[in-house]
Structure 1
Amino acid sequence: MPRGERPLDAGDSPLLTFAAELRSLRDRAGGLSYRQLGARAHYSATTLSDAAGGRKLPTLAVTLAYVRACDGDVAAWEERWRRVAAEVLPSPEPGPDEGHPPYAGLAAYGTEDADWFFGRDLVLDELEKRLTRRRFVAVFGASGAGKSSLLRAGLVPRFTGRVAVVTPSGSDVRADRLDLDVDLLIVDQFEEVFTLCPDVARRTAYIDALLTADCTVVLGVRADFYGHCAQHPELVEAVTDGQLLLGPMGPEELRQVIMQPAVKASCTVETALVSRLVADATGQAGVLPLMSHALLETWRRRRGTTLTLAGYEAAGGVQHALAQTAERTFTSLDKPRRALARQVFLRLTALGDGTEDTKRRLPRAELDPGADVDLVLDRLAHARLLTLDRDGVEIAHEALIRSWPRLRGWLAEDRDGLRTMRQLTEAAATWASLGRDPDALYRGTRLDTAVEWTQRDGVCTSTQERAFLAAGLAARDQERLLAQRRTRRLRQLVALLAVLLMCSGTAVFFAIRAQDEANEGWRSSAAWSVSNQSQALRGSKPGLADQLALTAYRLNPTEALRNGVLAANAARAYDVVTRSAFPSGQGLDPDGTPRPNARVPVPADDVYRRLADRMGPGAVVTSVVVESGARAYATTVQDQVGQVWDVTDAINPEVMHVFGGPVSRIAFDPVGADRIVTASPLAEVALWDWVPSAPKGQQARQRSRLTKHDRPLNGLGFSQDGGTAITYDDAGVIRLYDLADPAQPHRITELRTAQDVTAVALSPDRGTLAAGLANGLLRIWDVTSPGDPRSRVSQKVHPDAIRALAFRPEGAPALVTVGEYDRVMLWDVADTAAPRELARISGGTAGVNGAAFGDTPSKVVTSNDDGTTRSWEFDFDVAVEAICGRVEAHISREEWSQYVESVSGALDYRRPCE
């Protein structure tokens, strides 16, 4: 028996029983050694031995890996683990004589907590100085930097006179609701003006009212929304000399935050705990709510009046205390209530638009009333994960979104579906507010998409949303009935005109024209009905959906239905983990083909689905490249730590190099894989030589530094030939650097767009620069004269942000643009002043971070931050050949009758692939 294990005794605790059952499972699997088990589970033998030792409860991930390696029932063991976790990991409950906790946990310090607020005296002094000189000041800082506490518990008590503190939300972003009859107006969480108010006119009026207010105004803004603020010229002018950047606390400030509240509560803090907390939190942006929560949990585990290091470690520390509390609270719920809690958290999160995901205030009316809902909300609020009031619910702090792996996983699973849910919620609320106006109902593709989403497993809709969709379906049925009646009337008219043929030549002319119009109208109506059927069946019967898309095009060969066939073909494409060159910020290999001896792409339908999954929870793959020796490398950035991985064996990636300083962006040179470019959170950009043969940890050697940006970078990368480095920051400044001499790179072009740039690409001849913006705008410049770049076009091409751009490396000039959530578009850019749309393919593009043309001029490849790629074929004939070459390439007579004849009237059965 391995060291640390012991036999099961009667009366053992749930933890020891659980460990003994794990050992029994290993015995039933043939008594594998822990070394053999580790090879199967991809965990070390020591980790697996400790899991079965019974000293502490292993993590769920380790437990399930152990069970899979022993061929056990994963679902049953997951349920068993949750039961044991609920018993052995309970949080200490507050006692009746506990008094006022010295720490706020996730909640911000309010004005009533001013006596407990410490550590920001220097910043408050500086803020007061600025307010003596300016009537308009904006405080910028990362989420979790303590902006709300600074303004509410720090600034308000120092200010004499009438003060109002407001927080905008979607419905409250109205100029007429601002209380301007005050001396000081504080607008906390100002970024909600952008995240929760889609009405641009209302948003602009709100900002104008603040700028012209007859009082002192202070904004609290998340730093990653700096670019959004820059889109309003008057706001830019107001904060140019009136902004304060709130950075991480220094060691002495952190000591005050730790020690002073404890002293006020008549408690002491172990010296070792203070040192550990300062070490864990120093220099970490957004760490304050995590530290406050860890301190609160440590205080609940105090020994007498002493906060101990042991209590801190038991709580999970800064890195894990919040996730541990959230996971423990969630798993204590039974299965139906866990599903309800999942829906609550998803509805409480607003997905980022080129920014991090944020919290969203949820009106109670959006949740169906019931005892289960009330119980779930009470449990989550009791754990201080949510805050409740009479009218709404919200996440206590956005740190929960960043720090709880389970919630991050939910948000990453189906971002398209979450967008659909959010749009459905807003549309249903609008419909209800307009007295159920039929004109506000969903129609066409939007209705089909929403209905398909509601039929997925785990989806839960509200009563209002269900009523909205039911009304939309009923209206569509009525419209189809009216269309069929119009078609019958047109046919009757044609018959009547045919009878009059013998009477008048004029009647003949009108009869023929009416016949043509009737046929055209009938075929158009029938084709769109069949196309809608195709989209509705995409998730459940993809083969039939392909056939219906092709049938719709055969009925009415328009550009839109042609694009529908391309989209149907693309929807069947696999996400793949490939050994060919991935996009490295700006593209694939120059010729778009795999390197010599590169392995064939692996379908991502099993455990090989995502490189990111193999690299640890939350890993984001920023670039992957294959060098001439067929070795593949990937780069990741997680918590400002940049790493280079050897992913030649994609199942078992290996860390080759870890960068010593903080890194916010990283990308490989797509040609030769011998250079890397990185950016720090302070916008310092460095060029590195990549030498795989060097000792481990020394493969990346810094070669030079590029000119530092004034603002944090939104992106960086290389041109297709690797000869130019490209950077762009959150203020819309784009810079190009010539790398002909890597030891002394020099800047060749700088464009100050004053817009929120989300993607950039350089043409193969380096003479044309394209940029995609957060508002879906495409901008193109002629940069053949680097010192005098000239704007060629500014055109709206996507409804949301452009995620990636790429020029065709050879052949007819073409550009591909990838939208945030919706589609991939191909453009003819022979005339860069007038791009012409060639085709568009609708499909999920969430998480895309690069694009390039593939091994043919009509194929586009996009790369995703989970380490996968996907192909998009724009050649119609190739797409049709692929559809017709699949096993399910024929539609049966019964299916034809159900899905074609039923919506189009009499139409002879014909297989679209014959």
Structure 2
Amino acid sequence: MARGESPLDPEYGPLFEFAARLRKLRDQAGRPTYRDLARQAHYSIATLSSAAAGRRLPSLAVTLAYVRACGGNEREWEVIWRRTADACAGTPETAAAENRNSADARPPYAGLAAFGESDAGVFFGREKLTAALVEHLKEKRLLVLFGASGSGKSSVLRAGVLPAFSGVSTLVLTPGPHPLEECAVRLAARAGAAADSVRADLAADPGAFHRMVRQILAGRRESDPATDELIVVVDQFEEVFTLCRDARERERFVASLIHAAQAPDSRTRVAVAVRSDFYTHCTRLPGLVDVLPRAHHPVGPMTAEELRAAIVRPAAHARLTVESALLTTLMADAHGRPGALPLLSHALLETWRRRRGNALTLAGYRAAGGFEGALTQTAEAFHHALSDSGRLAARRLFLRLVALGEGTEDTKRRVPRHELDDGPDTAPVLEQATRARLLTVDGDHVEIAHEALIRCWNRLGGWLDEDRNQHRLLRALTEATALWESLDHDDDILYRGARLAAVKDIPPQALTARERAFVDASESAAQEAHRRDRRSLRRLRRLVAALVVLLVCAVAAAGFAVQAQSTVTRQRNEAVVLRAADESVRLSPHDPSLAAQIALAAYRQAPRKRTRDALLSTLSVASADPRATGPEPAGHTPAVAPDGRTLAMADGSQVSLWDIGDPRRPRRLGIIDGDGTGMNSIEFTPGGRTLLGAGGDGTLRSWDVTDPRHPVLLSKRPTGHSDAIYSVAVRRDGRMAATSSYDDTVRLWDVTDPARPRPLGTLRGHSANVKPLAFSPDGATLASGSDDRSVRIWDVTRPRHAATVAVLKGHRHFVDALAYSPDGRTLLSGSDDRTAKLWDIGDLPHHRELGELARHADIVAGVAFAPDGRTAVTVGVDGAVNTWDVTDRARPAPLASLTNPGGSVKEVRYLRADGTILTVTAHRNVQVWYTDLARVLADACDRFPGTIGRAQWARHFPRLDYDPPCPRHARADPA
């Protein structure tokens, strides 16, 4: 039985419409077989069947023979054929319509984008180079691949080398402006560690990278014994010179990579791709120049045979053919040209879009614009389709994505999304440029698809050449703005003088809102400085006049001189005291007794806010009294019993219970073994008799801790979450609990009987990971925070029918912490956007944003209300512990800004109504802070029984009379 023809839809374009009409003519003739038609038309069966297949337009002679055999009107069909031929003349729109039936097919060419591991099946032409690189990497473990921009370095590493190491773990990264941070984030994600801690280790010791890799692989060997190595690919290595401004960070990054590859027990292979015009830059790095002779490998242009394979074999893999004339033209255009591969790939991609059936043709190639013209034509078509305001936005966007070369070619620049202005045209322009494959968007970053665009798009080159100095000023302004924001709008970062005058010449429309705010703040500061100078000048003039008068009165003049000297001495002494207060905070982890003496002395010499904050910071309890011995609480997740006397700390799969009735002398009571499962969150029930815990295995556990020295496991129940649990919360009546998860859901539990928790319902509504949870004091509502940047309030009075009653939006990044006020009318939320917000939720579903607590320089990781509801505390990754007066919710006022000298603070809990606070740092240390100044002053000398010696006093308080704060206890001077 003959195989039926595949169906055709005339709406797919003129070619398909033509073929459908031929088939209809054959049906009207009684559907003769193609064998019968071939006898009458004197053409082969294959020729006649392909004429009606819709793959390509048949010749006029074949068409008329087909029509004649079916008894059709030849004159009419000649008109139809010519009209179809005109419609298929090669326009992109017609080609797209013609090929719509295979629009979902994956292109066999990557265009401007680099080939990835998933493209290994269509990556051809570099087999010889790939084999050499694989052999090099197996033998020497370190590879530095040099090649011109567009020579295919990234593709050969990703699609050639990596697939050759089957079963080996891979880590691909680009350095960006902070290569150590990028490295730390990638490694921490795989090791389940804190990125800040990993970055600190990398900065302190180049061997930390090697040890971290071994740790990661050791964990994976348990589940996959074949995983015994890690291949690290550092793409676009030139970014350590073009984007990274910190020479020390650059050297530490390189040292870490080299050590990881060359350690005697190395489990790491490192491949670095760098543009050849940065070879000289590489020789300036002490660690890299020593290994370059043995590690470097050049990437040259493709040979003719390699080019032929790169053109023809991907097409053959997709069951396409390449017209011989097209192949000859492409070979002539690309052969011997450095950096030609992205242009070739883009031209082939555009030709594929204009293909005729299953054939890539020279006509399609020319319609796409040719070798370099294809890229230019794509960019110009994108630009032409924009409105006038869109073109201005496109110009600003593309200029921001280029880093100007200093003795080298201009390079692309990877830009965080928040750096781009949120104007009405930015998002549409970004979307259209991404659709045209001129830009790539990866997570929260944007970059030009390939540097070939910088070389080939004349319009972009013209924009860059119009005023390169202005572009350099703009890049420096962008970096200054980011630094200003990271330092909480510090006035010392603002521009002044010549730099301010220079950036004022930049057109305002070229600046983002963030940069305009920076320039406006700089102008305001400059105007204020000018006003101060004018006031100082007026004062100086008055002073001169006064001196003339004082010359007449010698006694008065002498008195004035004495007064001036006294003022200078007082100001100098105050500066010495403030410097000593700051030093006491830095010294506290190493010599807490001396730090306490310095802080006390500084406060008594000058009782200012700064010295008070330093005193409170220095006298924080690092989990135990300095005189005490024995173990100290440690872990990453705390839970405090309602009476404030029992502390539970989760550290990996172990939970330890502590008596903190006297926080200075904690006593370990008992240990709970989590069966090897890490506890992400633990929480006491209101009575303090039961502890709930949940973690990475998606299981909810409960323990009876009535006797904390002998805790008993009550239940271990799967929750049904499809991903790890982030948080667990317990309602104040102890009858309900909630769990949040990375599967974007919240689940409610009846824990009236902790030994038999029962599911009540699943809450869905968040579009990303759900993190913090908090029950309202009356238990009627539950608040949940998410990576979707929102807070949802759920009515849980009927838990099996719980529903969202309010969605709080206003944070610009992930929501990481939540706390209800004691009266339940206010919610406090902390976010990755460095702020905490107060929300009025007293009349749900009506709600509104109140005040903002914005003194942190990094993520706000924890928030809490004091029992009286008039004070709140926020802690952050910047190491700050800030307390706030929130009596007026719309205008929260800072009370104290304490500093953890050890770095990030992750969790916070109030222990008592007197302002005693417990925090957990990123290093898993527990700290207790006393914010009651009177109490701190009353027992500081008893707690640190020593006194500062004369030598130490002279070192920290030069020229101030010796006045130790605790003179009853002698402290020997150091030798």
Tell me the TM-score normalized by structure 2.
0.43
Tell me the TM-score normalized by structure 1.
0.46
Considering Cα pairs closer than 8 Å and 6+ residues apart, tell me whether 1 or 2 has the greater RCO.
1
Q: Which has the larger radius of gyration?
A: 2
